[in-house]
Structure 1
Amino acid sequence: MRALRTTLVVLVILAGVFVAVDRVAVYVAESQAEDRVKVDGARIGSTDISIKGFPFLTQVAGSELDEVDVKITGIETTAAGRTLRISTMNAELHEVRLTDGFSGATAAHATGTAVISYEDLTKAASDGVAVEYGGKGKVKVTGAVNILGRTMSRSVLSSVTLVDGHTVRVRADKVPGEGIPGLEGLVREKTDFEREVGGLPNGLKLEKIQPTSDGLEISVTGTDVRLAG
């Protein structure tokens, strides 16, 4: 009986050691992975990696991780001379295959959310234009136009849509004309614009966009999503 108890104690200790070693290995792997995340054609700020599933060591032995959660803060790309910054992107990667001596990682499928703040959207808009949340799924766009030497500021409520799965289009629902010929066209030249959203990891595509109080919220999905290597 004493031998059995001793054996059980040893097994518990070994299990505890295995768990501790496994968790340390996860921590080290997450830290190394954060330094290796690259996005083609874009600059990124900080990256946070969380490897799910237990035990981690057996997943590594099989060269595939069940789930990896990724948060990237500050993804910057340039299109048509304008920089568009994705404030944050959170993605859940599933069935992540480790390749190239564990220096590369490709997820079989992924889902996530990217957010473009109104501050960043304002910087990407035309000069002198400000964008903010307009309520009820709309954005408020304010710009100044010059009519016969007089500067007039106009604000419009605009709809935001996705074009061809990679471009954000902001277009005013209605522009107050106030009986001034050509005013609507001048206002739209300022307030209506399109900007391409780049800088997403290869394999991710935009699915849906929705203005919220925190910014433009974009749903993303993808297959064979490559994050590193």
Structure 2
Amino acid sequence: MRGWLKATIGLAVLSGLLLGADRIAVGVAEDEAADRIVKSGRMSQRPDVSIEGFPFLTQVLSMKLDDVRISSDGLAVGDGSHQVALHSFKARLAGVKVSDSMSSATVDSGTGSGVISYPDLAQLLPPASQLLHGAKLPVGGNSRLSLAYAGPGKVKASLGPIEIGEGSVRNKGNTVTVDGFRLSSLAGLVAGATNQQLEPMSFTLDSLPAGLKLADKEGGGGGVTPLPEGLQLTFDGKDVKLLG
């Protein structure tokens, strides 16, 4: 009986030590991964990294991490000319294969999301002078649209006192298009606009976080969703190069 008790206590102590060592190792690896991701240029600022699964040391021996979560707020994204903030970015990376020195890493598959505020979204669209050619604008030519949520799949826009109605947002790959805005007859008359229908407005995002891209369902779309707080971007990717 005493031998059994001693063995049980010894096993419990050993398990505790192994668990402690595993958690220390995963914490060190998470910090190192966060530093390397930002140094690689895959993200504009240091993210929070969480390596899921237990035991971590077993995953290290196989050089493949089953489930890695990364998150950050206020990441810089843009179209090459303008940069805006991506808020509440979260991603889940599955099957992360790392080199022995952690100098390179590839991801079997990844998904994520983040939100661009409507004022920031407007900065990625053309200025007023390019939207209503020949119109008498009540604002400066460099002014931007005021955008807001207008219900599922819709955004509404105005330019100073001129209401431009509702439009839709879609994507094809990393190119986002805002379309469907049209001046009312009265607004067109006030502005002196000869064409009440606005042309589609597009921009292409580059250097998206963690090497992911905008989700693109068959037939287009799936990567952008208007929400009350802003435009939600949905990301995915396969065989993504995370480091190196």
Output the TM-score relative to the length of structure 1. Answer: 0.83
In structure 1, which of residues 207, 214, 217 is the aligned counterpart of residue 232 of structure 2? 217
Cα distance, 1:52 vs structure 2: 0.5
Cα distance, 1:168 vs structure 2: 1.2
Matched, 1:93 2:93: yes
Given residue 83 of structure 2, which amino acid in structure 1 is its aligned partner? T
**Aligned-CA RMSD value:** 2.6
SS at match of 1:58: helix
In structure 2, which of residues 187, 201, 205 is the aligned counterpart of residue 197 of structure 1? 205
Cα distance, 1:40 vs structure 2: 7.1
1:80 to 1:5, Cα distance in 2 relative to 1, 3 A:
closer
Cα distance, 1:131 vs structure 2: 1.6
Structure with greater strand share of residues: 1
1:37 to 1:43, Cα distance in 2 relative to 1, 3 A:
closer
Unaligned runs of 5+ in 1: 145-151
Matched, 1:176 2:184: yes
1:76 to 1:142, Cα distance in 2 relative to 1, 3 A:
same
1:117 to 1:100, Cα distance in 2 relative to 1, 3 A:
farther
Cα distance, 1:87 vs structure 2: 2.5
Q: For residues 22-171 of structure 1, what are the structure 2 equivalents within 5 Å?
A: 22-38=22-38, 44-79=44-79, 81-99=81-99, 101-125=101-125, 126=127, 127-128=142-143, 129-144=145-160, 153-162=162-171, 164-171=172-179
Unaligned runs of 5+ in 2: 128-141, 217-221
SS at match of 1:53: coil
| Distance in 1 between residues matched to 2:194 and 2:100, nearest whole Å | 56
Given residue 202 of structure 1, which amino acid in structure 2 is its aligned partner? G
Cα distance, 1:100 vs structure 2: 5.6
- Matched pairs, number: 219
Contact 2:37 2:43 in 1 (8 A): no
| Distance in 1 between residues matched to 2:207 and 2:52, nearest whole Å | 25
Contact 1:51 1:68 in 2 (8 A): yes
Contact 2:82 2:124 in 1 (8 A): yes
Contact 1:39 1:199 in 2 (8 A): no
Given residue 139 of structure 1, which amino acid in structure 2 is its aligned partner? V
Contact 1:41 1:77 in 2 (8 A): no
Given residue 154 of structure 1, which amino acid in structure 2 is its aligned partner? E
Cα distance, 1:48 vs structure 2: 1.1
SS at match of 1:185: coil
Cα distance, 1:101 vs structure 2: 1.1
Output the TM-score relative to the length of structure 2. Answer: 0.79
1:117 to 1:167, Cα distance in 2 relative to 1, 3 A:
same
Cα distance, 1:56 vs structure 2: 0.3
In structure 1, which of residues 185, 188, 208 is the aligned counterpart of residue 195 of structure 2? 185
